[in-house]
Amino acid sequence: MIRVGVLGARGRMGSEVVRAVEAAKDMEVVAAIDADDPMSALVDAGVQVVVDFTHPDVVMGNLEFCVANGIHCVVGTSGFDQPKLDAVAALLADRPDVGVLVAPNFGIGAVLLMRFSEIAARYYESAEIIELHHPRKADAPSGTAAHTARLIAAAREGMDSMPDATTQEEPGARGAVVDGVRVHSLRISGMIAHQEVVFGGESETLTIRQDSLHRTSFMPGVVLGVREIVGRPGLAVGLDKYLDL
Ligand SMILES: NC(=O)C1=CN([C@@H]2O[C@H](COP(=O)(O)OP(=O)(O)OC[C@H]3O[C@@H](n4cnc5c(N)ncnc54)[C@H](OP(=O)(O)O)[C@@H]3O)[C@@H](O)[C@H]2O)C=CC1
Ligand SMILES: O=C(O)C1=N[C@H](C(=O)O)C[C@H](O)C1
């Protein structure tokens, strides 16, 4: 049995993770931690793998503690830009036996959307991202949208910049720019997590869309991450690294 600790255990995602881990035959929750609970409970409980769904402002402190204590980390918390990922890699340099998976999105459809977008990017002169989430989300743009933008930008390397004649603009009307890719963030009651990537070229467009309709959609990916990470030391970014895509 894999001994799992959940950080953010009373949150929207953390509470689903507790249920999903308890339902899996080969793992069990031995520590459920939320804000203000002592992290030492992870060590006391003999946790092997931590699942973190907390907040972008606290996740680095959590990782520092876990890596220093030899605990593998499956991280869903958003807000990882390159400097933060570099900081995680630096933590792991002192503990090469520990694994950290940072997954912008654990939904299989979202993982496929990111991969399909990466493939499509080279074939279209225009690409923009629209992400739609519940209004209690703390960060914008979403981690998934930012990661998708970086994948598209990398795939477009060497291509001309995207056509855009805008010279007069209300601030924000054309969205945020992540690595040269426009990202538009909507916060809508009733929604969970949704993303469209719109590509355009000569007389055609391609729209790729994924919808997470319930937070259970993320759970098969989280359980896979917990199962896999015990044998995968080092830093992995994206659940696709654990899949044969
Ligand atoms: N990768 C993926 O597939 C997905 C990622 N996410 C990301 O996961 C994160 C959490 O989302 P969500 O569950 O909706 O957010 P919630 O606010 O519902 O849950 C976060 C929980 O973490 C708690 N918390 C805050 N600080 C700490 C700490 N230092 N230690 C332990 N627990 C702490 C919060 O407590 P309190 O409220 O008291 O502060 C809260 O209970 C976000 O960054 C979100 O973007 C979400 C869905 C899917
Ligand atoms: O906060 C959320 O809900 C989600 N956060 C992640 C993100 O920022 O991309 C993953 C998913 O979109 C849900």
Give the model's pLDDT for residue 239.
Answer: 97
Question: Residues 25-46: pLDDT tens digits?
Answer: 999 999 999 999 999 999 999 9
CATH number for 193 = 3.30.360.10
Same domain, yes or no, for 131 and 97?
no
Query: What is the arithmetic mean of pLDDT over 116-130?
Result: 98
What span, in angstroms and rounded, lies between the C-alpha atoms of 220 and 225? Answer: 9
This prediction's pTM: 0.97
Residue 125 has what pLDDT? Answer: 98
> Within this chain, do residues 158 and 232 fall inside the same structural domain, yes or no?
no
**Ligand 2 mutation target, pool 133, 178, 212, most atoms within 8 A of CB:** 133
* CATH number for position 224: 3.40.50.720
Distances (CA, A) of 241 to 78, 208, 216, 223: 18, 21, 21, 15
Domain that holds residue 53: 2-102+216-242
90-104 mean pLDDT: 97
pLDDT tens-digit readout, 125-142: 999 999 999 999 999 999
Same domain? 125 vs 208: yes
Q: Are residues 47 and 141 in the same domain?
A: no
Extract the annotated binding site: 8-13, 36, 76-78, 103-106, 134, 143-144
Residue 13: is its pLDDT beyond 90? yes
Active-site annotation holds for 133: yes
- pLDDT greater than 90 at residue 47: yes
**Local confidence band at 245 (pLDDT 50, 70, 90 cut-offs):** confident
| Same domain for 125 and 89 | no
Q: Is 137 designated active site?
A: yes
Distance (Å, whole) CA 183 – CA 146: 8
> Do 204 and 132 fall within a single domain?
yes
- 114 shares a domain with 97: no
What is the pLDDT confidence band of residue 210, given thresholds at 50, 70 and 90? very high
Ligand 2 atom, smallest distance to 79 CA: 8
The 10s digit of each residue's pLDDT in 144-201 is: 999 999 999 999 999 999 999 999 999 999 999 999 999 999 999 999 999 999 999 9
Q: Do 204 and 230 sit in the same domain of this protein?
A: no
β-pair type (181-187, 176-178): antiparallel
Whether residue 244 is predicted with pLDDT greater than 90 in this model: the reply is no
| Cβ-Cβ contacts under 8 Å for 122 (sequence gap 6 or more) | 155, 156, 159
Tokens linked to 63: 């990782």
Instruction: State how far the Cα of 75 lies from the Cα of 202, in Å rounded to an integer.
Output: 40
Co-location of 97 and 161 in the same domain: no
Inter-residue contact 147 to 104 (CB < 8 Å): yes
* Cα–Cα separations (whole angstroms), residue 4 to 122, 147, 172, 205: 41, 27, 42, 44
Clarify whether residues 34 and 118 are in a common domain.
Answer: no
- What is the residue with the minimal CA distance to atom 33 of ligand 1? 35
Domains: count for the chain? 2
Give yes or no for residue 133 CB within 6 A of ligand 2.
yes
Give CA separation, 71 vs 39, 62, 161, in Å. Answer: 12, 11, 43
Look at residue 108 in the predicted model and tell me its pLDDT.
97
pLDDT of 213 above 90: yes
Same domain? 121 vs 75: no
Beta carbon of 10 within 6 Å of any ligand 1 atom:
yes
**Does 79 lie in the same domain as 57?**
yes
The annotation places the binding site for NAD(+) at 8-13, 36, 76-78, 103-106
